[in-house]
Amino acid sequence: MATVSIAEAGNRLSDLIDRALSGKQIFITRDGRPFIAVKPVPQGPRPLAAADLDWLAEQRRQGPIPPEDAGTAVRRLRDEG
């Protein structure tokens, strides 16, 4: 875990970002106490690929879905299992 003061962080921001991206824990301190963590933003889900859409199409229920309320659907699913 690395700690740097606010002034030092301002002078070395690019280096601190690179270190955080490589997996190091970086904390910025004020009055000697850590108060900010520099860390990468988690990446979102990957974009859908054509293979994903093909899989979804294969899994799709064939024919119309019979209308039923939620309570009836839960009872039916419970009793089928």
The residue that leads in pLDDT, 28 or 1, is 28
Sequence ranges of the domains in the chain:
2-38
pTM of the model: 0.51
The answer to whether residue 64 scores a pLDDT higher than 80 is no
Does the pLDDT value for residue 55 go beyond 90?
no
DSSP state of 36: E
| Residues 71-78, mean pLDDT to the nearest whole number | 89
Nearest to 9 by CA among 33, 42, 36: 36
In tens, the pLDDT along 9-45 reads: 999 999 999 999 998 999 999 999 999 999 988 888 8
Instruction: Report the relative pairing of strands 26-30 and 33-38 from DSSP bridges.
Output: antiparallel
pLDDT at 41: 85
Tokens in use for 2? 């690395």
What pLDDT score was predicted for residue 81? Answer: 67
> What would the CATH number be for the domain defined by 2-38?
3.40.1620
